[in-house]
């Protein structure tokens, strides 16, 4: 891979200069909160869509913060003399963060975008010029080795990742380093890999400028850079999952046929996980004619791992092709070339009998169980990010249900999860509701229909009485045989536990 036509990057071996630059940026509130206050919500949101005109209009003044926004986010040259009072300019010129333009101006060599972490950290994501935001609006560069900044996929993965303290974490295909940056907060050792050496260089810049610990950076494809037998407590990856004909763009195209790259990552991750460890990915998968997409994904799960796979979106093949053609900016080029590329995508899908493409999350947990749990579901509805605690709790509940038969379940104690509400649906004036719905206001924000026994059971669960004793009391109230009620209710209890409405433990 060649990146000779891309700008030379700042030196990655001068953390002292990165620290001085970080201090200067923070001193003038070049942060996520500072940008929101300066630009206002509409212009700030437009930046997240790679639209710069509103931000240009909002930064026509001469304050230090406006100067830095134009320099690092909008790629505008600024007067050398003016920025010298804000940044360590000579150091930045020496180490390549800035270059001279004309007689009296300087320009940035990389995008630097403030990024607020999950706990409000003031971090900075470095990326190639014009590529601070990844997405379908066109990235501003069509170079093969270009490195993008933070897009919606990056923040989604960061939000769903389990954030318990671990000894070791692996960021597979690190890109600009956002996942490695997050992992550094709760992992003693972070390893980051990428096939693109430019991405590893930019990851080092991101970590240094954010004041984060350095990571062990290794070049290579997928798991190839790892040592034999090397394992981790956490593996995360926002891989180049786009299903495309060929591999034009390293940052997004997997280079394998169909969804083979995502399948390979999932299948090979099992042997790289420590017991109890999590592997979490974003992925695309094919919906193939005559094949159940859920069965396809179940076949990806490695032995010894529980899995939770959530399909968030499905696009037909025409929508999918158009999305990624626009991502590459092909819609702005020669119409004949655009049509040829569009045809190539549809030819590829037709040859593979692909009718649609799904997008979603895949989480594995290494358990070594002889009876692994594999949950594959479609959930296109809004959720509450961050979801890391929700993901961890899901696997804890699955393990609990596997380890407890119905008799143990009835001897167990449960609590109603936080912020669960009950809705009753029926005709006005009716003595009894037609449906009782329990609804979550946190996490996955699920809703489930229960009968009156299930609703009554959930409402009483506060950890003080066993499930069996609660059912006995309900049986007495409704005049039902307690033995029959104990026999038919565990299935409903299991569903409420699995979906997070009830939590085990007193």
What is the per-residue pLDDT across 151-199, written as a single tens digit (0 to 9) for each? Answer: 899 999 999 999 999 999 999 999 999 999 999 999 999 999 999 999 9
Q: What is the pLDDT of residue 4?
A: 55
* Residue 29 φ/ψ region, left for φ over 0, alpha for ψ in the -120 to 50 degree band, beta for the rest: left
Q: What is the pLDDT of residue 1?
A: 45
Question: Per residue in 84-142, pLDDT tens?
Answer: 999 999 999 999 999 999 889 999 999 999 999 888 899 999 999 988 765 434 445 56
Per-residue CA distances from 225 to 173, 217, 333 (Å): 11, 9, 37
Q: What is the pLDDT of residue 49?
A: 81
Per-residue CA distances from 36 to 28, 64, 411 (Å): 14, 15, 53
Q: What is the pLDDT of residue 135?
A: 42
Q: Which residues of the chain have pLDDT under 70?
A: 1-4, 133-142, 506
Q: What is the mean pLDDT of the chain?
A: 93
Q: What is the pLDDT of residue 137?
A: 40
Q: What is the pLDDT of residue 440?
A: 97
Q: What is the pLDDT of residue 300?
A: 98
Q: What is the pLDDT of residue 246?
A: 77
Pairing between strand 111-116 and 122-127?
antiparallel
Tell me the whole-structure pTM to 2 decimals: 0.94
Tell me how many degrees the CA angle 136-147-169 measures, rounded to the nearest 5: 105
162-184 burial, b at 16+ Cβ within 10 Å, e below that, comes to bbeebebbbbbbbbbbbbbbbbb
Contacts of 149 (CB under 8 A, 6+ apart): 111, 113, 125, 126, 127, 131, 132, 133, 134, 176
Q: What is the pLDDT of residue 3?
A: 53
Nearest to 324 by CA among 305, 348, 308: 348
> Residue 194: helix, strand or coil by DSSP?
strand
Q: What is the pLDDT of residue 339?
A: 95
């Amino acid at each position: 891979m060649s990146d000779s036509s891309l700008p030379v990057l700042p030196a990655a071996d001068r953390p002292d200069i990165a620290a001085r630059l970080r201090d200067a940026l923070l001193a003038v509130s070049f942060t996520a909160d500072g940008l929101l206050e300066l630009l206002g919500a509409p212009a700030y949101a437009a930046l997240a869509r790679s639209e710069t005109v509103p931000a240009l209009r909002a930064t026509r003044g001469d304050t230090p913060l406006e100067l830095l926004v134009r320099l690092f986010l909008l790629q505008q040259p600024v007067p050398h003399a003016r920025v010298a009072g804000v940044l360590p300019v000579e150091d930045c010129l020496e180490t390549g963060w800035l270059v001279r333009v004309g007689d009296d101006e300087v320009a940035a060599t990389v995008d630097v975008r403030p990024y607020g972490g999950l706990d409000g950290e003031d971090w900075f994501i470095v990326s190639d010029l014009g590529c601070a935001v990844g997405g379908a609006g066109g990235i501003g560069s069509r170079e093969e080795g270009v490195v993008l900044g933070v897009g919606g996929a990056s923040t989604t993965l960061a939000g769903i990742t389990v954030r318990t303290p671990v000894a070791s974490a692996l960021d597979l295909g690190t890109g600009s380093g956002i996942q490695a940056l997050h992992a550094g907060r709760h992992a003693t050792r972070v390893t980051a890999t990428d096939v693109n050496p430019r991405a590893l260089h930019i990851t080092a810049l991101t970590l240094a400028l954010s004041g984060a610990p350095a990571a062990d950076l290794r070049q290579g494809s997928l798991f190839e850079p790892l040592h034999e037998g090397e394992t981790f407590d956490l593996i995360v990856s926002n891989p180049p999952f786009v299903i495309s004909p060929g591999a034009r763009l390293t940052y997004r195209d997997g280079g394998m046929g169909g969804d083979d790259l995502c399948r390979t990552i999932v299948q090979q991750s099992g042997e790289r996980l420590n017991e109890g460890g999590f592997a979490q990915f974003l992925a695309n998968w094919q919906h193939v004619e005559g094949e159940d997409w859920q069965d396809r994904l179940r076949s990806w799960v490695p032995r010894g791992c529980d899995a939770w796979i959530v399909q968030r979106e499905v696009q037909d093949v025409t929508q999918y092709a158009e999305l990624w053609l626009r991502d590459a900016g092909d819609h702005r080029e020669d119409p004949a070339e655009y049509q040829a590329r569009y045809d190539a995508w549809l030819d590829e899908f037709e040859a593979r009998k692909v009718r649609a493409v799904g997008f979603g999350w895949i989480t594995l947990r290494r358990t070594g169980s002889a009876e692994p749990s594999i949950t594959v579901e479609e959930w296109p509805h809004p959720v509450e990010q961050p979801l890391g605690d929700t993901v961890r709790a899901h696997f804890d509940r699955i393990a609990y249900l596997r380890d407890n038969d119905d008799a143990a379940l009835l001897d167990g104690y449960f609590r109603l999860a936080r912020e669960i509400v009950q809705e009753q649906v029926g005709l006005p004036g009716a003595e009894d509701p037609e449906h009782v719905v329990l609804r979550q206001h946190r996490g996955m924000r699920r809703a489930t229909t229960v009968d009156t026994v299930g609703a009554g059971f959930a409402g009483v669960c506060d950890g003080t009485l066993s499930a069996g004793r609660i059912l006995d009391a309900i049986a007495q109230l409704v005049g039902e045989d307690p033995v029959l009620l104990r026999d038919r209710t565990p299935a409903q209890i299991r569903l409420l536990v699995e979906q997070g409405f009830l939590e085990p433990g007193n």
